[in-house]
Amino acid sequence: MSESIERIKCLIIGSGPAGYTAAIYAARADLKPVLYTGMEPGGQLTTTTEVDNFPGYPEGIDGPTMMVQLQQQAERFGTEVRIGMVTAVEFSEKVGGIHKVTVDNAKQIEAETVIISTGATAKYLGLPSEQKLRGGGVSACAVCDGFFYKGQEVAIVGAGDTAAEEATYLANLCSKVTMLVRKDYMRASKAMQHRVNNTKNLEVLYNTEVDEVLGDQVVEGLRMVNNQTGEKSEIKITGLFIAIGHKPNTDIFKGQLEMDETGYIITKGKSTKTNMPGVFASGDVQDNEYRQAVTAAGTGCMAALDAERYLATLETED
């Protein structure tokens, strides 16, 4: 049974750094935001123990604690944080139009502005040993976690530009990086391949896949398999980085918002504006380049300011 329709000024979808920062700014601008957390309250950072690079935490902080603090800061200014998943949207193409949103396939909300902060999910290989050791040496973010493996031997899986970029980033920090490429060639651009091939402590193994991540509590090694010969071999490593891509969480917006070929929402110029008036996107959902908590928070701030200015313009036009 559907409940009665609720009308609000600002709806924020997602509870990562982008969503909560948008909420802090929107609440302080008196937009009385309502934020839906989705299936992962606190977002991706709740899956990591150490965040060392978010400004303002000189000793570092664990991800779940940081996200609770962001939520508390958003609530302090009046954000209403609700558990729930946005399951359908019907955006208005009209300036000043009302956007219709369905939560958990039941509740209907009408919003004057919508801020999308649904993030992007890192892809993993799906091996049980990889899943067991996530947070224990298996990571999908070299820029976030590479520092913890300074001077150590690590491996990275992937063959695209991001994988090549992350492999050379790791090679700057680690004593040795082994890069596993499934095919007999790399998808990365020629320039990136050149960088990889000219990095001394970076070895590329083609036609090679992960057979099993070794270690009980933490990563201790990797068993690899050559997919041409079936031959298996092992190396000792302390960190395994998975760089096989991300999937932006945008399925429910398909057909309504402009996206790139991977599904990242396209925003206009330096703003967070989408192709729909009054609909804004912030954080990883619109960023296939940086994907960091601080950049997500920065664009969350921008989205709330864009929403506030959009509403102010409507009022002047009335």
Q: Specify the pairing of strand 107-116 against strand 279-281.
A: parallel
How far, rounded to the nearest angstrom, does the alpha carbon of residue 316 sit from its chain's CA centroid?
36
Q: Is 301 a catalytic residue?
A: no
Torsion angle (degrees, nearest 10) of CA 115, 117, 118, 123 = 150
Nearer to ligand FAD, 53 or 313 (CB): 53
By CB under 6 A, is residue 53 in contact with ligand FAD?
yes
CA dist., res. 140 & res. 125, Å (int): 11
Indicate the SS3 state at residue 317.
Answer: helix
Contact with ligand FAD (CB under 6 A): which of 166, 284, 306, 308?
284
Q: Are 79 and 70 in contact (CB under 8 A)?
A: no
User: CB 222 → ligand FAD: shortest distance, Å?
Assistant: 19
CA dist., res. 44 & res. 17, Å (int): 9
By CB under 6 A, is residue 274 in contact with ligand FAD?
no
**In the structure, how many helices (H) and strands (E) does the chain have?**
7, 17
Q: Are 185 and 102 in contact (CB under 8 A)?
A: no
User: CB 299 → ligand FAD: shortest distance, Å?
Assistant: 8
Contact with ligand FAD (CB under 6 A): which of 10, 11, 23, 36?
36
Measured in degrees and rounded to the nearest 5, phi and psi for residue 51 equal -115, 110
The two structure tokens encoding residue 143: 């820029």
Torsion angle (degrees, nearest 10) of CA 127, 286, 263, 166 = -40
User: CB 117 → ligand FAD: shortest distance, Å?
Assistant: 5
From the candidates 141, 161, 211, 301, give the one annotated as an active-site residue: 141
Q: Give just the sign of the alpha carbon dihedral 52, 57, 63, 67.
A: negative
Q: How many residues bind ligand FAD (CB under 6 A)?
A: 41
User: CB 297 → ligand FAD: shortest distance, Å?
Assistant: 8
Q: Which stretch binds ligand FAD (CB under 6 A): 30-38, 125-133, 195-203, 231-239?
A: 30-38
Q: Are 250 and 265 in contact (CB under 8 A)?
A: yes
Q: Is 144 a catalytic residue?
A: yes
From the candidates 10, 52, 62, 144, give the one annotated as an active-site residue: 144
Would you give the binding string for ligand FAD spanning residues 109-148, x where CB under 6 A is met?
--------xxx--x----------------xxx--x----
By CB under 6 A, is residue 277 in contact with ligand FAD?
no
The two structure tokens encoding residue 43: 């977002």
Nearer to ligand FAD, 140 or 180 (CB): 140
User: CB 15 → ligand FAD: shortest distance, Å?
Assistant: 4
Q: Is 174 a catalytic residue?
A: no
* Interface contacts to ligand FAD, rule CB under 6 A: 13-19, 36-41, 43-45, 47-48, 51, 53-54, 85-86, 117-119, 122, 139-141, 144, 249, 252, 283-285, 291-294, 296
Catalytic residues: 141, 144-145
